[in-house]
Chain A
Amino acid sequence: MATTTAYRVEPLETYRWAKEVRLKHFKEVMEAKEKGRMLVTGNMNAPKDLISGIGDYVYMGGEPWAVAVSREGGKDLFLPALEAMEKQGFARDMCAFCRTFSGAMFLGQTPFGPFPKPEFVLGMNQCDSKGKWFQIVADHFKVPYYLIDFGWPNSDGTLKPNKASLTYLLTQYGEFIDWLKKTTGKPYDESRLVHALSNMYKVRCLWGEVLQMEATRPAPLEYKLLLPFFLCLEYFSYKDEVVQLMTALRDETKYRVANQIAPLPNEKYRVLHDGLPPWYALYLFHFLREHGVSVVGGSNHTMFVACAQKPRADGSFNLMDPMDWDGIPKTFDEALKWRANVEYISNMFGLDTRVRLMFAKEAYRAWNGNGMIWIMDRGCELFSMGILEVKAALQKEGVPCMMYESNRCDVREWSWSQVADHMDAFLEAVGVPKSDIKRHLGGKIGEKE
C-alpha cells in the first residue's frame, strides 16, 4: 500500500560516470578514422563483442546514435533526418530508430560531426526492422554486411531453451568469426573473446543485483537514473570500464539501501514503466517524481534481469534469483554457449506474448508495484507487440494500468498535453490526490534532462 515517509535524497555519484561513458563513446566513433581504428556499425544487440578477438575496434550502434540525433541533434538535425528518409520513399510509420539513424546517414551528418563510413556492418536479425535497416546502411556505404539471425523458434511459452535455436546461433557465431578473419585479414585471439564475454557475464551479475535492490522501500534508484547504465549494459558490457562502473553502481546502491537514500523524498507510490521512453521528453519522469511516484522498473528491468538470470530447467524463473557468479565462462566454447543462451532469453521476452506476460506479472509482484505504465511506441512494432494483451491481463487482476501513445524517436508524434491528461487519470486510479498535479515540467520538444 502507499506510504509516506521522508527519506534522505542524494544524487547518484555513478550516474555521472555512466553518462561520461556514453559521451566518450560518441567521441571515439567520431575519431575512429583519424586514429586508424576499425569502425563497425549495426544494431545495438548485434554480437559486436565477437569482434574483440581480432583486436581494437569501435562499434557504432544504430539505436544510441538515433537517440543522439533526436536529443543532441535538436530540431536542426532530427527533422531533416526524418524528412530525408521520407524523400527516399520510406514510410513514416516504419521503425523510428531506423528512420532517424538512416536519415542522418543520408544527410551525412551526426550531432557531433560528419556521419562516418563504417568498414562493415554487423546486424542481429530480431525484429522485422533490424535486418532490413542495416541492409539500407550497407547498401548506402557499399560495405560488406554480415547478419546473424535469431530464428524465432517454436517455444512452449516458457524460457525452456530450444536446442535447435541455440545450435543455430552458435553455428552463426562460428561462421561470423571465420568471415571476420577472412574479411579483415587479422588473426583471431580466442582469449580476448573469453575476456570480453566474461566481462559481459560479470556486468549482468552486477546488474541483476542492482535491480533486485530496487524492490526495497524506498527504492534506492529510479528508472530514469538507470537509463545510462542500461545503455552500458546493452552496448558496452564487454568492456573493462563497464565492469568497474557496474561494480561501483552495485556498491553505491547497497550503500543507499543501508542508509535509506532515495531519489525522491517521499516515495508514496511505485510504478513500472514498460518500453523504452521517449528520449527527448524524459521530463515525464520528473512529472511522476513530483507526485511522489517512484518508477522502480520497467521493461528494462524485466527484460534485462532476464539476461542476468539463469532460468530453471523447466523454463520457469524467479526474478529474485540472481545469476550465479561461479558460472563465469572460462573457455571459448563456454563463452559462446553462454552468449547464445543470453541471446535466446532476451529475445524470447519480446517475441512471445506469453513470456512477456509472465515477466510483467512477476516483475509487478517482485517490485511491489502500485501500477503499471506502458508506452505504445508507434515507431517500434517489437516493443509494442503483445502489450495490449499484457495490459488487459494485468487489468483483469486489478492492477491500475495506463498506456500512452507516442514514438520514442519521432518527435512529431509526441504530445505532452495528451500524455499528461492520461497520466492525470492514471495517477488518480493509483491514489495520487488530484491537487498534486503539476504540469510545468514538460513542454519543449527536444528538452534535455
Chain B
Amino acid sequence: MLEKFEQTFDKHHEYAQQWKARTGGKVLGFFCTYVPEEIMYAANILPVRVVGGLEPQDVSEAHIAGMYCPFCRDCLAQGLTGKYDYLDGIVMSKSCMHMMQAYRSWEMHIPTQFHHFVGMPALVGKPASADFLYAEMVAFKSALEKWLGKPITDADLDKGIDIMNTNRRLLRQVYEARKSAPPKVSGTEAAAMVISSMLADKREHSQWLQEALQQLPERQDGPKAGTRLMVLGSENHDLRLFKLIESLGANVVMEEYCMGSRYFWNETVPQKDRLRAITQRYIERPRCPLKDVDERKRFPHILNLFKEWKAQGVLLIQQKFCDPHEFDIPAINKFLKENGVVTYFMELDITMHQGSVRTRTEAFLEMLELEAV
C-alpha cells in the first residue's frame, strides 16, 4: 500500500491527465502552499503543486537569473518544456521572490486560460493582515467564479474545507506513527505521502491514507531503529535524499518545511463565514521564514516538534541560493544549539553529487553517536 504514494509522485503528470479525462474537471497548478486549495476543491478543480523534474536543465536561463534558487528554475523548466501542458491555469500566492519570478515567467510564456495571484501578507500576526488576506480570498473566489461561469456556494466551500481537513487529519495520524522507535513509517515514505497529497485528488489520497493507517499496526517490513533525525530548511521533494540518509542507518522522524509537516499541520476551523475560516487557517499555520518576520514563532514550534518526536539531531538543509532560509538558518542554528540540540548544515542543489551527501550525512551520524556516548 505504501508504494502507492511514491508511484503517484513518480507518475504525477499521468495521474493528473487521467484525472482530467476521467472527471472532465479542470486542473490548476499552484506554486506555493499558501494557495488556498479549499476554494479550488470547492469549485471541483484539482489543485496540483508545480514541482521540478530534479534534473539539470538550461531552458530557464533566459528567464531567471543565475542567483535564483535551482528549485524555481527547475519548476519553470517543467512548464517551458511542456510537462504541464495539461494545466488549465496557474495560481500563486505571495511566497519568495524566486518562486514569484517562476510564476511571472510562466504567466508570460506559457498560455493558460486562467492565472491568479493571491496576495498573502508577510506579517501574519496582526488583525489588519487577516483582513487583507480575507479580501484576497474573496477576490480569488470571484475570479474562479467568473472563469467557471458559476457561483461557489457555502455548501461547496464546506465540501472543499472537509476534503482538505480530512487529508490533513490523516497525515497527522501518519506522523503520529513516526513517534515510536523504530518508527512505523520511514521518512522517505512519509515524504512520499505528503508530496503525493499535493498532486493527487485528496479524496482518493485520503482513502489510500486510511488503508495505509489500517495496515500500520501489523506492519512487519517497517524501518529498523536508527539515529532519529529531524530535517528542516528549504523545500525538498527529492526522495533520493531521504533514501540515502535512511540507508545510512538513520530514521528521519520529522521535518519542518513546506513539503512536509508545515503543509498540513493545522486545519480550517469552521466559522459562519467560510472564507474567514479559510483565511484564519492560513494565518495560523506554521510559518515559513518569510512569514516569520516579527516575533519568530517558528523557533519554538520547531523545538516542540524535535522534542515530541524524540529526535536526536537536526539536519538543516538549504537549497542553494534560497534567501528565506539563508536568513533563518543561522538564527535557528544558534537557537537549537542553545537548547542543547546538535545540528548539521547541508546545502542542496538538484545537480548535487550523491557522494558528498553520503559523506556529510555519515559525518553527522558519527557526530551524534559521539554525543550519545
Answer yes or no: A324 CB below 8 A from chain B CBs: no
Which of A200-242 touch B at CB < 8 Å? none
Counting CB contacts under 8 A, is B96 at the interface? yes
The answer to whether A147 touches B293 (Cβ under 8 A) is yes
* Interchain pairs with CB closer than 8 A, number: 140
Q: Say which residue of B62, B126, B290 sits within 8 Å of A392 (CB atoms).
A: B62
**Are A135's CB and B97's CB within 8 A?**
no
Instruction: Check if B370 is an interface residue, CB within 8 A of chain A.
Output: no
Contact between A154 and B118 (Cβ–Cβ < 8 Å)? yes
Judge if A418 is at the interface, Cβ distance under 8 Å. Answer: no
- B120 near A: Cβ within 8 Å? yes
**Is there an interface contact between A127 and B104, defined as CB atoms closer than 8 Å?**
no
Interface flag for B357 (CB, 8 Å):
no
Q: A147-B294, A168-B132 are in contact. Are A90 and B326 (CB under 8 A)?
A: yes
Q: Which residues of B contact A352 (CB under 8 A)?
A: 104
Identify which of residues 32-54 in chain A touch chain B, using a CB-to-CB cut-off of 8 Å. Answer: none
| Chain B nearest Cβ from A138, distance in angstroms | 9
Give the most central of B62, B65, B68, B96: most A CB within 10 Å: B65
Of B200-208, B238-246, B329-337, the one with at least 4 CB within 8 A of chain A: B329-337
Instruction: Say if the beta carbon of B267 comes within 8 Å of chain A.
Output: no
- Which residues in B have their C-beta under 8 angstroms from that of A168? 121, 128-129, 131-132
Asked whether, in the complex, the Cβ of B326 is within 8 Å of the Cβ of A155, the reply is no
- With known contacts A125-B122, A154-B136, A381–B323 Cβ distance under 8 A: yes
Least CB distance from B35 to A in Å reads 12
B100 CB, min distance to chain A CBs, angstroms: 7
Q: Bound state CA distance, A153 and B129, in angstroms?
A: 12
Cα(A131)–Cα(B129), bound, Å: 15
Whether B101 is near chain A, meaning CB under 8 Å from some CB there, is yes
Q: Please give, as numbers and ranges, the residues of chain B lying within 8 Å of A94 by CB-CB distance.
A: 323, 326-327
Least distance between B105 CB and chain A CB atoms (Å): 6
Chain A residues near B97: list those with CB within 8 A: 127-128, 381-382, 385
CB atoms of B104 and A386 under 8 A apart: yes
Residues of A within 8 Å of B, CB-based: how many? 51
Q: Which residues of B111-146 are within 8 A (CB) of A?
A: 116-123, 126, 128-129, 131-132, 135-136, 139-140
A384 and B128 contact, CB distance less than 8 A: no
Residues of A within 8 A of B129 (CB): 149, 151, 168
Interface residues of A in 87-136 (CB under 8 A from B): 88-91, 93-95, 125, 127-129, 131-133, 135-136
CA distance A95 to B327 in the complex (A): 10
B222-272 contacts to A, CB under 8 A, are none
Query: Does any Cβ of A come within 8 Å of B187's Cβ?
Result: no
Assess the B293–A171 pair: CB atoms within 8 A.
Answer: no
Complex contact B121–A149 (CB within 8 A): yes
Q: Does B169 contact A (CB under 8 A)?
A: no
For the complex of A and B, the 5 pairs showing the least CB-CB separation, nearest first, are: A164-B135, A89-B330, A131-B293, A132-B327, A168-B132
A-B contact list, 6 entries, CB within 8 Å: A90-B330, A132-B289, A132-B328, A164-B131, A164-B132, A388-B65
User: Apart from A132-B289, A378-B67, what are 12 other A-B pairs with CB-CB below 8 Å?
Assistant: A93-B67, A125-B122, A148-B123, A149-B122, A151-B121, A164-B119, A164-B135, A175-B126, A381-B97, A381-B98, A385-B104, A388-B64
